[in-house]
A = this chain, B = another copy of it.
Amino acid sequence: MFKYEIISTQGRARAGVFSTPHGNLETPVFAPVGTQATVKTLTPAQLEELGASLILSNTYHLYLRPGDELVRELGGLHKFMQWSGPMLTDSGGYQVFSLAQTRKIDDEGVIFKSHIDGSTHRFTPEKSIQIQEDLGADIIMTFDECSDPNEAAYSEIAMERTHRWAERCLIAKTRVDQALFGIIQGGVNPALRTASAQFISSLPFHGIAIGGLSVGESKAEMHSTLELVTPLLPENKPRYLMGVGTPEDLINGVARGIDIFDCVLPTRLARHNAAFSPEGRLNLMNATFARDPRPIDESCDCYTCKTFTRAYLRHLVVARELLAGTLLSIHNLHALIQLVKNIRISILNGTFESKVPAWLTQWQGNAEREPKQV
C-alpha cells in the first residue's frame, strides 16, 4: 500500500502512480476540493465524468459539521459522500488560522471558536489525526501552522511548531490504511524552507506537502521556493503543493517537481460566473456573450462545452439560475484536470519541456488567484 512509482521524468517534472486503498492515483494530478463533503454543485457522477481522480475534503469543516464521529458511524467519508476513488483530508490547520475566530495558539495546539456558531474547540496534532482517522481518507495531513509570508519573524516560530507537531502526528497515527503526509513551512525565507524540507524529509512520511504558498507571496517567490525545496526532497515520495492553483501555477509547479495540487479556484470562480479559457478568464455576466453561439472553449470536450453556448450560460448567470454554477464548475474543473492529464502525457512521451511555453501562453489570461468582483 502507498507505493509511489515514478514512471517517467523530464527535467524535474515527474509522472508517477501512487497506490492507495481506493485505487491507483496517476500523478501529476489536480484534486477538486469538496470542503463540506461535496464538491460544490456537483454529483459524484458528474465528477467522475469530468475526469476527477483525487478529491480533497476539509477536516475543520467536517469536524464542526456534521462531525467526524457521525461520518465514521456512517462508514467514513468515501461512503458518506459516495466517492469511490482516492481522497485526501487536510489537517484543519490552515482553516483554523484563516476561518476560525479568537484563536489562541501555543505549543500544545490551537483553541478557536467555530465560524458557524462561535462554540469553542481545541485542535492538537493528536486531535487532528483522530478526526482524520474518523473521516478515513486515503491521504491525511499533519497539523501545521501556516505563517503570513509578510511576517518573516514569525515564520521560524511557526515552522518549529509545525515540526514538533509533525512528529506528534506520526506518533498519534494508528490506521495503516491511511498515508500521512508531512508539511514543509518556512514562509519565503530560503534558510527556513531548506531547514524545513530537510527536517520533514527525514521523517517516515508517505508523502511531502509544501504549505504556506499561494497565501500572499509573489509568483516569483513561489517559484524560487519550489526550486529551492524540491531538490531537497526524497525522489520516491509524492509531493503535494497545497492550495494551488491557477493553470499557470500547475504548469510551473510540475516543472518544479510537484505531483499533487488542489484548489477551490475552479469551483469558486464558477460561482462568480467566471470560466477558464484560452482567451483569458471569461466573465459570463458580460453582455458581449448575450448572443454568442460558441461554447466557452471550442477546444474543450467537457459536458458544458460540448452542449451549451455562451449565450445560454450568460442567460443562466443573468437569471441567477443555479445551473450556471454547476455548468461552469464542470468546465473549470475539467480544464484544470485535463491540463494536468495532458502534462502527464507529455512527461511520458518526452514533450513536456517543449510544450511548457505554449501552455503558459495559452493560459496566461487565467493567472489571477481570486475571482473578480462582479
Task: Report whether B74 and A323 are in contact in the complex, using a CB–CB cutoff of 8 Å.
Answer: no
Chain B residues, Cβ within 8 Å of A318: 65-66
Contact flag A291-B322 (CB < 8 Å), given A36-B315, A307-B82, A311-B66? no
Task: Report whether B327 and A325 are in contact in the complex, using a CB–CB cutoff of 8 Å.
Answer: no
**A154 proximal to B (CB < 8 A):** no
Chain B residues, Cβ within 8 Å of A70: 290-291, 311
- Interface size class on chain A is 35 or more
Selecting from A38-46, A100-108, A127-135, A351-359, the interface stretch reads: A38-46
Task: Report whether A303 and B43 are in contact in the complex, using a CB–CB cutoff of 8 Å.
Answer: yes
Q: Which of B81, B316, B325 contacts A322 (CB 8 A)?
A: B325
**A368 proximal to B (CB < 8 A):** no
A19-39: contact bitstring with B at CB < 8 Å (1 yes, 0 no)?
Answer: 000000000000000001110
**A80 proximal to B (CB < 8 A):** yes
Task: Report whether B65 and A319 are in contact in the complex, using a CB–CB cutoff of 8 Å.
Answer: yes
Task: Report whether A321 and B66 are in contact in the complex, using a CB–CB cutoff of 8 Å.
Answer: no
Chain B residues, Cβ within 8 Å of A231: none
**A73 proximal to B (CB < 8 A):** yes
Q: What would 23 A/B residue contacts be, using CB atoms closer than 8 Å?
A: A36-B315, A36-B316, A36-B319, A40-B322, A41-B322, A43-B323, A43-B326, A61-B319, A66-B311, A66-B314, A66-B318, A66-B319, A70-B311, A73-B291, A74-B291, A74-B312, A80-B309, A80-B312, A80-B315, A81-B312, A82-B312, A322-B326, A326-B326
